[in-house]
Structure 1
Amino acid sequence: MTTNISQPQDGVRSIPAGIWALGFVSMLMDISSEMIHALLPVYMVTVLGTSALAVGIIEGVAEATASITKVFSGALSDWLGKRKVLAVIGYGLAALTKPIFPLAPTVGWLVAARFIDRVGKGIRGAPRDALVADIAPPHLRGASFGLRQSLDTIGAFLGPLLAIGLMWLTADHFQAVFWVAVIPAFLAVVLLIVAVKEPKRAEGLRRVRMPLHRDELGRLGATYWWVVVIASVFTLARFSEAFLVLRAQSDGLPFMLIPAILVVMNIAYALSAYPAGALSDRMNRVAVLAIGLLLLIAADVLLALVPGIAGLIAGVVLWGLHMGFTQGLFATLIADAVPPELRGTGFGMFNLVTGVALLLASVIAGILWDMVGLQGTFLVGAAFSLLALIGLTLLRDRLRNASG
């Protein structure tokens, strides 16, 4: 696995156009989705009379569906030897669901739309990441994943901001905002079809007949599974950002300003993801990832022990920076570790395992919050981060021995 590459770098301008296009596709779809998701729970409860419990169940089932679907779509992309067609299907399904949200007369329609939307996310996720790995030159792989992650995250905070502005302009007309959200979703699909060219399959590349067979999963290699285990432990530390919102609420931040916490976090995330990825192309990737883990430990300690708005903002900024230094890097390490013909399967399994870990992390965090308070939640998060950091040193030694 490549972790230290000394080839000359030409900066962001050298990243292939296909990576830029995939980044903008992700950004547009995220703008659309977040415009809807930022308002959907409130819309379901206040307009359609849905209970909060029902909202929670719907969201949980939707995200679980996306995680499970990613495994099969990634494996299918390896079996077909094609990535783009599955990405188009996934983004297309998500776009087709968007008009349902303003038209839905009942909660049942919204549930169906949310479910299909998450199926679309699951279908596109692993093939898209594998496509990034296929298009990116090896010496720009970290920068390429970082750029896609930065653009994706820009969409994650532009969407809610647009929703807030449109709700003000339309005097809280939910359906009008939902209709505007349809536009970037369809633009994303058009851009994907027109601007992203899938590279030709390399001659002599092994055909994969049963990607999820035990033998094929074994071909992913021990290094890959080390990365998955470390990422899972790390995911136990970075529980749902909902707990950042609860920390803000505990400090007495006005309800109107609480969403700004996630905006600040995503800005820090977006600004750091590309530089972190580019840095990993110039030095050891594991070292850059270790910086991300240290940033999370610092964030958790601040959020646990420094009360008030100053501690909150500093912790949230560090939380966003740790995301920028880790999310694209884990994807890059996966791309480095797995054989090219199994990249879809590798990303699919990675997403499934870390998705389950994120669900477990949020449950653990909730229990700790109720039993011992916010300090216990964030300090346990720091402890999990420390465990992941220890695992990372073992991975570094393994890679060093393998290269030696």
Structure 2
Amino acid sequence: RTGRAIRKPSTDAMLSFAGHKLGRGWVFGLNEAFDQAGATLGPLIISLVLFRHGSYRTGFALLLVSALLTIAIVFAASKLFPNPRELEAGHTLETKGFSRSYWFYLVAGAFIAAGFADFSLIAYHFQRSGSVVGPVIPIYYAVAMALGGVGALVFGKWFDKAGLSILIAVFFVSAFFAPLVFFGRSWVALCGMILWGIGMGAQNSLLKSVIAPLLRRDVRATGFGLFDTGFGVAWFLGSWVMGILYEKSILILVIFSVILQLLSLLAFVFAKRAE
């Protein structure tokens, strides 16, 4: 996780430069789709190796191939595009530091993070309540992540055409995953997981797409890093609170989750007005 935290802001900055002409929503959405595909294939490869009477050593050796290919591609990209900022030549911002709209978007992201239940809590609820049988829980998760990746791609393309309205619509719909997963059973819970997956995909694509134009090229990686820090702290605090609420009242937990995510929509509106 530390390695991911170190490389993520730089990766987001380079993607934003590449997306200047291609469309940032599309670029971030495509990246999220590939990310979800890799996150799905990795465990499947390990499972297949173990199923075929292999060992973890063999499985990790196969994953090493993917890691080496990644390093090779990054090395090639560094030779082809030694200065990614040049992909956004001619685009300058006159603001110093970070704009008011950026801070509003950070607040919106914090609201979403704090109200977004982690899958570990959802899976625990499924198992404890019996609303979803144990062997099916990983399948629900896989479906959610797969649709989240596809959704990130589609919504990213729409974002490039319609702008903030798509972002608001997606987060409004995904905000209602909580009552479905915590009160529903079987297919209702699956619908909730689909909304959860869509929200997860949107967090990693649409949020970055909307703040990228607000950041100067020389501070863009810093801006993404600061955003991720605020998002991560809010996620931790929200998860902690929801863990406590789960033992007290699931109804209050659901209300807490939905209200915080809906508050993000208000912050989005203020951010747009501040631009």
TM-score (norm 2): 0.88
Higher relative contact order (CA 8 A, sep 6+): 2
Residue matched to 2:176: 298
Q: 1:122 and 1:234 mapped to 2: Cα distance? A: 19
Q: Give the 3 Å change call, closer, same or farther, for CA 303–254 of structure 1 in structure 2.
A: closer
1:193 is matched by which residue type in structure 2? Answer: F
Residue matched to 2:61: 179
Q: Give the 3 Å change call, closer, same or farther, for CA 123–322 of structure 1 in structure 2.
A: closer
Question: Structure 2 residue aligned with 1:258, among 137, 149, 162?
Answer: 137
Shift of 1:298: 2.2
Residue matched to 1:379: 255
Tell me, what secondary structure is at the counterpart of 1:136? helix
1:165 is matched by which residue type in structure 2? Answer: L
Q: 1:204 and 1:293 mapped to 2: Cα distance? A: 33
Q: 1:342 and 1:287 mapped to 2: Cα distance? A: 27
1:370 is matched by which residue type in structure 2? Answer: E
Q: Give the 3 Å change call, closer, same or farther, for CA 301–218 of structure 1 in structure 2.
A: farther
- Name structure 1 gaps, 5 residues minimum: 1-62, 64-117, 207-216, 400-404
Question: Structure 1 residue aligned with 2:273, among 372, 386, 397?
Answer: 397
Q: 2:49 and 2:255 mapped to 1: Cα distance? A: 39
Q: 2:157 and 2:234 mapped to 1: Cα distance? A: 28
- 1:314-333 equivalences in 2 (<5 Å): 314-333=191-210
Q: 1:332 and 1:205 mapped to 2: Cα distance? A: 16
Residue matched to 2:124: 246
Shift of 1:195: 4.3
Is the 2:100–2:271 contact (alpha carbons within 8 Å) kept by the matching residues of 1?
Answer: no
Cα shift readout 1:255-305 (whole Å, capped 9, x = no counterpart)? 333222221111111111111111111112x21111122122221222233
Q: Give the 3 Å change call, closer, same or farther, for CA 181–218 of structure 1 in structure 2.
A: same
Q: Give the 3 Å change call, closer, same or farther, for CA 139–179 of structure 1 in structure 2.
A: closer
Tell me, what secondary structure is at the counterpart of 2:204? helix
Q: How many residues align?
A: 268
Residue matched to 2:76: 194
Q: 1:266 and 1:139 mapped to 2: Cα distance? A: 25
1:184 is matched by which residue type in structure 2? Answer: S
- Name structure 2 gaps, 5 residues minimum: none
Shift of 1:333: 1.5
Tell me, what secondary structure is at the counterpart of 1:308? coil
Q: Give the 3 Å change call, closer, same or farther, for CA 257–205 of structure 1 in structure 2.
A: closer
Q: Give the 3 Å change call, closer, same or farther, for CA 290–205 of structure 1 in structure 2.
A: closer
Shift of 1:355: 1.0
- 1:3-402 equivalences in 2 (<5 Å): 63=1, 118=2, 120-138=3-21, 140-170=23-53, 173-195=55-77, 197-198=80-81, 200=83, 201-202=85-86, 219-249=97-127, 250-284=129-163, 286-305=164-183, 307-373=184-250, 375-399=251-275
Cα shift readout 1:44-86 (whole Å, capped 9, x = no counterpart)? xxxxxxxxxxxxxxxxxxx4xxxxxxxxxxxxxxxxxxxxxxx
Larger Rg, first or second structure (1 or 2): 1
Percentage identity across aligned positions? 24
* C-alpha RMSD of matched pairs (Å): 2.3
Tell me, what secondary structure is at the counterpart of 1:219? coil
Q: 1:226 and 1:393 mapped to 2: Cα distance? A: 9
